[in-house]
Amino acid sequence: MKEKLDAIKQKALEKLSQVTDLDGLNEIRVEFLGKKGELTAVLKSMKDVSPEDRPKVGQFVNDARVAIEEKMDEIKKTFEAKALENKLKSEVIDVTLPGKDPEVGHRHPNTIALSEVEKIFIGMGYEVIEGPEVEYDYFNFEALNIPANHPAKDEQDTFYISKDILLRTQTSSCQARVMMDKKPPIRVISPGRVYRSDEVDATHSPCFHQIEGLVIDKNITFADLKGTLAEFAKALFGEDTKVKFRPHHFPFTEPSAECDVSCFKCGGKGCRFCKGSGWIEILGCGMVHPRVLEMRDIDPKEYTGFAFGLGLERIALLKYEIDDMRLMYENDTRFLKQF
């Protein structure tokens, strides 16, 4: 038995002297010390050894195991030391090399435009609020005096998740929510992302941003709306900017209007930028419809208000003279670095 154990030990040590990596070392461990290894097989045959010889044979087996394990540990430490040495060599830092300037991010034109708009209205005493992008049909349409059969509710224009839940088509839904949670006086703007079923082109996108404004208080008139938007236009586009209102229709405002600003490029004389008209359309507005107030338990005989909505991308496109909306979403650093 001793000769057999010596042969197994010598065989293991000879193989260990030829091993080149940790995987090979593990294979030898399994071959000799594993559950089905050669040395383990000898241990399993101890039942066939006479009782008086078992202590001596057990000692031989243990000596062989210790010798093999010590050699394995020695080789393993060698491999680990070499691996650490290689790692340290690969991570050497040459402090004499010139430094690298880190890439610095750039604010998106949408972000810059939104910051300016918010700053203007906060200066007028407005509060900035947010609302959910996944909205109930009720708040997006019905609470804004848009009936069930209105064309705006057509599935060709709106992304429906279920019969009663959709991706909001306008931040005006915040108007209905803020009137439910807060009683007059109210003076808020609600910027956010909106969704419509539009084809992507130079002026359209199925996902874009709007800013809704709402004021409700006693004795609010259309003159207050005109004055507010005139001040906003001057602050955003320049002190010489003028505003013009054209009659329009929105279900949740009455009367309603489209608001134009004098072209800040040519000063209203007519140019390519304003298509020769001298005016640029920027937003829709109007007095809050009495029916909308009534649905929120606000007495239209005591309170009146106005609302307006503008597209954030449109403001950014105009302000920075960008001629293709798709540039805003392509994440081209050559474009973004200009801002």
pLDDT tens for each residue of 146-159: 877 766 666 557 88
pLDDT tens for each residue of 300-322: 999 999 999 999 998 888 888 88
- Terminal C-alpha separation, the chain: 85
Which CATH superfamily includes the segment(s) 109-336?
A: Bira Bifunctional Protein; Domain 2 (3.30.930.10)
Per domain, the residue ranges of the chain are: 2-90, 109-336
pLDDT tens for each residue of 286-304: 999 999 999 989 999 999 9
Strands (E), 154-268: 165-167, 186-195, 207-217, 243-250, 253-262
Quote the percentage of the chain above a pLDDT of 90. Answer: 35
Cα 46–chain centre separation: 67
The answer to whether the pTM exceeds 0.85 is no
Confidence of residue 195 (pLDDT cuts 50, 70, 90): very high
Mean pLDDT of the chain: 85
DSSP structure class, residue 309? E
Cα 194–chain centre separation: 15
Quote the percentage of the chain above a pLDDT of 70. Answer: 92
Least confident of 145-154, 235-244, 260-269: 145-154
DSSP 3-state of 210: strand
pLDDT tens for each residue of 17-64: 787 787 787 887 777 777 777 767 776 666 666 677 667 767 777 777
Strands (E), the chain: 127-128, 134-136, 165-167, 186-195, 207-217, 243-250, 253-262, 279-288, 304-311
C-alpha–C-alpha distance, residues 248 and 256, integer Å: 5
